[in-house]
Amino acid sequence: MPRFLHTADWQIGRQYDRFGPEDGPALAQARLTTVERIAALATELAVDAVLVAGDVFDAQTISDRTVRRLFMALQGFGGPWVMLPGNHDAALAESIWSRARRLNAIPDNVHVLLTAEPLLLAEQGLAILPAPLTQRQTFSDLTDWFDHAPTPLHLLRIGLAHGSVQGILAEDIDSPNPIDPQRAAHARLDYLALGDWHGCRQIDDRTWYSGTPEQDRFKSNGAGQVLDVQIDAPGAAPQVKPVAMGEFTWLQWQRRLQVASDLDALIEELEQIERSSVISLTLEGELDLAGEQRLQAALGRAEARHRVLECQLDGMRLLPTEADIAALQVDGYLDEVVGQLRDMQQADEPEVAREALAILAGLLRERQAGGAAV
């Protein structure tokens, strides 16, 4: 029973500059360590091969050091790795693949499929039909030749391609390179392993996108997995099992805080996230000073626990209650300032007023505790 892992869109070398010098490099490194976990899984499951359906690298200009590091990350699995050029690492006349060969970085058990011709892995029971991209975008279906390609009858016919299944995926996906939705049937494929869609998605019984094994976008589309595929014999139905693989989960939340129980629920949600994550949190609503203090404490804990916490508070208003103001013991000029800041939150710069009010409240608390004078 041939068994293989289907993965794609590793995009090694991708940069995350938006997250700054501390978190960006850690996210880039996670893509390499995830490859190491794929190699370990392949060995643990004793699969016959690992198929990578394009975009191994994020760009043609990746450094030599990163190229070498990628191929070193494969060492945990000694069986065949089958790699397809995608739109980010297309097989140009001069490409990252030709540079990798000059560096002598590609191990003997790695098959880089740069041309449209079958790769026969007889010992593993697989005949791989690849559709490598030789430029970033094409307007014809590079899988057409699968229909008429002869392969030994006793080997599984496995297609390997990178692009967009027509009429099913959104038109604005990363690579518009077209793929016939009936390709598996027309070409008598036992399985069609696809890349480019960064989420895990089944097209039909024999056609799957594995998605990227390390999530890189705020989308709930099954990213962060590889596919464990078993097929009993030519013509048999594939048995496909998604396996979680990624290091970081990306979460995008929008929450409205109106009453104390809303804040309680948000804090509980943040505390219950078990894995280190990349979190984008947008809040709107209103809080009193006590609620603001609790929120900031919860965000501080979450920021320490997770890889990234982005928090948008533009839609939040800080509304001190009469009890809040009384507790701050403000009078005279400071009382007027607090009132002006409360009013400003209804005007043109609510975020500035909110931050100023929170800072002032903090300073007043420090004064009460014996800190600096206001």
SS (H, E, C) 45-78: HCCCEEEECCCCECCCCCCHHHHHHHHHHHHHCC
What global pTM score does this model have? 0.86
Q: What is the pLDDT of residue 223?
A: 93
Comparing 182 with 355, the larger pLDDT belongs to 182
Sign of the C-alpha dihedral, residues 94, 31, 43, 242? negative
Residue 284: how many other CB atoms lie within 10 Å: 15
CB 79 within 8 A of CB 42: yes
Name the percent of the chain lying above pLDDT 70.
87
Q: What is the pLDDT of residue 139?
A: 82
CATH 3.60.21.10 domain position(s) in the chain: 3-244
Q: What is the pLDDT of residue 367?
A: 56
CB 194 within 8 A of CB 8: yes
- How far is 276 from 264, CA to CA, in rounded Å? 21
| CB-based contacts of 20, cutoff 8 Å, min separation 6 | none
Q: What is the pLDDT of residue 138?
A: 82
Please determine, for residue 374, whether its predicted confidence score (pLDDT) is greater than 50: no
- Per-residue pLDDT band for 73 (boundaries 50, 70, 90) equals very high
| CB-based contacts of 92, cutoff 8 Å, min separation 6 | 60, 134, 135
CB 169 within 8 A of CB 163: no
Cα 340 → chain centroid = 44
pLDDT digits (tens, 9 = 90+) for 163-177: 999 877 665 555 678
Q: What is the pLDDT of residue 355?
A: 72
Q: Among candidates 195, 240, 245, which has minimal Cα distance to 51?
A: 195
Q: What is the pLDDT of residue 104?
A: 97
Rounded to the nearest integer, the mean pLDDT of the chain is 90
In the numeric block, which tokens belong to residue 297? 């404490």
In the numeric block, which tokens belong to residue 48? 């016959």
Comparing 125 with 339, the larger pLDDT belongs to 125
Please determine, for residue 187, whether its predicted confidence score (pLDDT) is greater than 70: yes
Q: Among candidates 363, 359, 364, 300, which has minimal Cα distance to 329?
A: 364
Q: What is the pLDDT of residue 373?
A: 44
Fold entry, domain 3-244? Purple Acid Phosphatase; chain A, domain 2 (3.60.21)
The bridge status of strand 126-130 relative to strand 225-230 is: unpaired
Q: What is the pLDDT of residue 220?
A: 84
pLDDT digits (tens, 9 = 90+) for 239-297: 999 999 999 999 999 999 988 899 999 999 999 998 899 999 999 998 888 888 899 89
- Per-residue pLDDT band for 372 (boundaries 50, 70, 90) equals very low
Comparing 30 with 333, the larger pLDDT belongs to 30
DSSP three-state, residue 163: coil
DSSP three-state, residue 114: coil
Beta-strand ranges (E) seen in 97-224 are 110-112, 119-121, 126-130, 156-162, 164-165, 178-179, 191-195, 201-204, 207-209
Sign of the C-alpha dihedral, residues 113, 90, 3, 79? positive
